[in-house]
Structure 1
Amino acid sequence: MLFREIIGHQEVKRHLINSVKNNRVSHAQLFLGPEGSGSLALAVAYAQYINCEHRTDEDSCGQCPSCRKYEKLIHPDLHFSYPFFPTKELAVATDVLKEWREAFLTNPYLGMDYWRDRLDAGNKQANIPIKEAHDIIKKLSLKAYEAEYKVLIMWLPEYLDKEGNALLKLIEEPPAKTLFLLVAENQEKILNTIISRTQLVKINKVSHEEITNYLVEKHSLPHNEAREIAFIADGNIQEALNLLQNKEHSSNFQLFVEWLRTIVTDRGSDLIRISEERLASLGRENQKSFILYAINMIRQIILMQQGLKNLVFLREEELKFVEKFSELYQIEQLTETIGLLEKTHYGIERNGNPKILFLDLSLQLVLLFKYQTFPQGTQYI
């Protein structure tokens, strides 16, 4: 993985490259960024750059033996750890290393759902078990085979429970030329004892413009279609790739406006029809993308309402709608709307009945917009 192959993050790339050029490589680093931001790809590119035999001032050479092995994730001094679904046959991460390599090489922006779909997960819970922690200690106690650095990249250390304490001494006092790169999405779910032993590398979401350009250049999408996908994905490249398979995203705006007008005018029969027939019939992935689109539109309305029009990037038709709608309702109503949408999105992910979920959501929004009622105990910041 080369730095130039990763979308955006120019400042982070410069920081990582300079740390190598200035010989200031911290032995334990935490790459913290939201799903689909490219944090895992950056960690792999960083490890490749460190061990590249002919690196330049801007990137790995991509041609030396080390780079060629990194390109296929088969370098003997590159190790991975990640959540999986342990069984008697699958005790450590290397037992599904083939699947991991295929998943990353196919999609370096992968999220947990994508990884789960590559495995026979069933109803099992993903984790990083104690046997995996012991296997890491065993692997990193050996000398480097051919590279200057041994590198362990752990994806989603949030899935380490108390088992992570077994790695503390190794992370704090590793063997010489051993590098830990932890790639996480949620800092609050990581053991504090691990966080305190790492140097933070903060990675932000990818901008809408960068995702749009990526979809136009790499996937040959029309600019308007790519722009709408980028808007729905909201910085998550994994979500943008999911939406590429969704052929109905272009109608999200029209459906969103029709649905919202039915709610605002409280037309009972139309509300049932659009909830049970239009929305519930979209299919699970299309339902999720519609809700994500709705959440982002409400966020744009809030920005407009708060006088931050310069942060609103929408097409002319969408912009006119946002400007008009922002004058009608209070920020408390809009904030509560986002909460209700997120709750419905969670219900769909858990395979809830879409007819019930969308009708319930619609009725709650009728109460919220028409009667300005809020759940008891709700607090707003």
Structure 2
Amino acid sequence: MTFEEVIGQDEAKQSLVKLIEEHRVPHAMLFCGPMGCGKKALALAFASRLLGDSQLLRQWQHPDLHFSFPTIKKPTMGSDHQPVSDDYAQEWRELLSDGAYFSIEQWMDAMGAENQQAIITGAESDRLSRRLSIKASQGGYKVCVMWLPERMNVTSANKILKLLEEPPQQTVFILVSEEPEKLLETIRSRTQRFDFKRISDEAIEQALTERRGIDTDTAHRIARIANGSWTAALDSLRAGNEASLFFDLFAMLMRYAYSKKVKELKKWSESVAAFGREKQKRMIVYFNRMVRESFMYNFRNPELNYMTANEEQFCTRFAPFINERNVMELNELFERALRDISQNANAKMVFFDIALQTIILITRKQQA
């Protein structure tokens, strides 16, 4: 992975290269920024530059490059076994071979996850401690890239803290986080933080046309919808992507609610309740975005909207039903549902409640 392969982020690239050239590489770095901005890609490019470009790095099998990431426990694993990154090394390398831009959702699919929550276990921290205590095989740096450290459990976090406090010689830790506020304060204080901004629309548009052969008009629309995320831009190119499914489910919810079809809404709620919790959370976030886009569509200013052609077509008729009388309550409804699902509430009850409340909220306009 080279810095040239990273989408946009020119200023960040220059700053990171300068650290290496001036021999000011911190022993522990915390890369932060919104999803899809290229934190992981920058971390891999930085690690590659530190270790030296080689065929081993292209295959992500360099002996001095260590990865740590969230994993799940499969039913086939023994009762005493705590999953570690080694259990999923092949899946990890296969996903990386397609590029550094992928989400936790794609990683969960690669692991074959169902309803499990992916975490970084205490056994994983023990594994890192053993591996990093060994002298670098190439005589230079050892680099540990930990993706989503906020998913460490308490045991793991405390053990990693000790590693950061007493780091092995010539070892560089790069923690790539989307929710750094969830990390222990003591871990944050032991790292040098780097905050990366969203990728500019221009950089995404250019990458779509030059690297993916997308026509200018389509690239412009995709770049706006991606909202600074190359991961989101790539997802929009995939046929049958998850956003299309969520759009269909949102439209179905609103149509049934408008028609007060309670029986169909019950079936709808049972259907989405069968999704894994991570997918349910992504769906709720999408629903909330569509509420926002529908409300803004009423202002008839294209610069305020970030929608696909299908979403925009739906909003031409639906948008008037999202207005100042209900937009805040719909937002709160979905935020509450997101919190409940995150806390393992009964999914059927949560989604049927959404359905019933939506009837009240989107028909309020006609009753006012």
TM-score (norm 1): 0.71
1:329 partner amino acid = N
**How is 1:183-332 mapped onto 2 (pairs within 5 angstroms)?**
183-243=176-236, 244-246=238-240, 268=260, 295-296=288-289, 298-299=291-292, 329-330=323-324
**1:25 match:** 25
- Corresponding residue for 2:123? 131
Please state whether the residue corresponding to 2:204 is helix, strand or coil. Answer: helix
Q: Which residue of 2 aligns with 1:156?
A: 148
Q: Secondary structure at the match of 1:69?
A: helix
Is the Cα–Cα contact under 8 Å of residues 128 and 159 in structure 1 kept in the other structure? yes
**Long gaps (5+) in structure 2:** none
1:77 deviates by 0.9
The match for 2:35 is 35
Q: Structure 1 residue 275: deviation in Å?
A: 11
CA contact (8 A) 1:37 1:235 kept: yes
CA RMSD of aligned residues (A): 4.6
Residue number in structure 2 paired with 1:334:
327
Q: 1:296 to 1:335 in 2, by over 3 A?
A: same
After superposition, the Cα gap between the structure-2 partners of 1:120 and 1:248, relative to the gap in structure 1 and judged at 3 Å, is closer
Superposed CA offset, 1:185-235 (max 9, x none): 112321222111111111233344443443444333444544454454433
Q: Does 1:8 align with 2:8?
A: yes
User: What is the deviation of 1:67?
Assistant: 3.4
Measure how far apart 1:127 and its partner are.
2.1
- Name the amino acid aligned to 1:144: A
Which of 90, 95, 103 is 1:98 aligned to? 90
The 1:137–1:221 alpha-carbon spacing in structure 2 relative to 1, beyond 3 Å, is: same
Distance apart, 1:173 and its partner CA: 2.9
2:66 aligned partner, one-letter code:
H
2:172 partner SS:
strand
2:111 is aligned, of 109, 116, 119, to 119
Deviation at 1:255, TM superposition (A): 11
User: Equivalent residue of 1:205, what SS?
Assistant: coil
For 1:169 and 1:328, the matched residues in 2 are separated by 51
Contact kept, 8 Å, 1:295 with 1:341, in 2: the verdict is yes
Aligned equivalents of 1:315, 1:95: Cα separation in 2? 39
Q: Which residue in the other structure is 1:145 paired with?
A: 137
Are 1:303 and 1:309, in contact at CA under 8 Å, matched by a contact in 2? Answer: no
DSSP-derived class of the 1:18 partner: helix
Displacement of 1:284: 7.9
Counterpart CA distance in 1 for 2:203 and 2:330 is: 28
CA–CA separation in structure 1 for the residues paired with 2:322 and 2:282: 25
Q: How high is the sequence identity, in percent, across the aligned residues?
A: 34
Distance 1:116 1:261 in 2: 31
Match of 1:67 among 54, 73, 78: 54
Cα–Cα, structure 1 residues 247 and 179, in superposed 2: closer, same or farther, change >3 Å?
Answer: closer
Change beyond 3 A, Cα 1:101–1:253: closer
Q: Residues 36 and 147 of structure 1: is their aligned pair in 2 closer, same or farther, counting only changes over 3 Å?
A: farther
Distance 2:249 2:218 in 1: 16
Match of 1:182 in 2: 175
TM-score (structure 2 length as normaliser): 0.73
State the alpha-carbon separation in 1 of the partners of residues 341 and 166 from structure 2: 45
- Helix, strand or coil at the partner of 1:31: strand
8 Å CA contact 1:303–1:311 kept in 2: the answer is yes
List per-residue Cα deviations over 1:28-66 (Å, max 9, x = no partner).
Answer: 0111123333211110101112233xxxxxxxxxxxxx3
CA distance in 1, matches of 2:162, 2:246: 51
2:183 aligned partner, one-letter code: I
Partner Cα separation in structure 1 for residue 116 and residue 347 of structure 2: 19
8 Å CA contact 2:69, 2:146 repeated in 1? yes
In structure 2, what residue type is equivalent to 1:7?
Answer: I
| Corresponding residue SS for 2:54 | helix
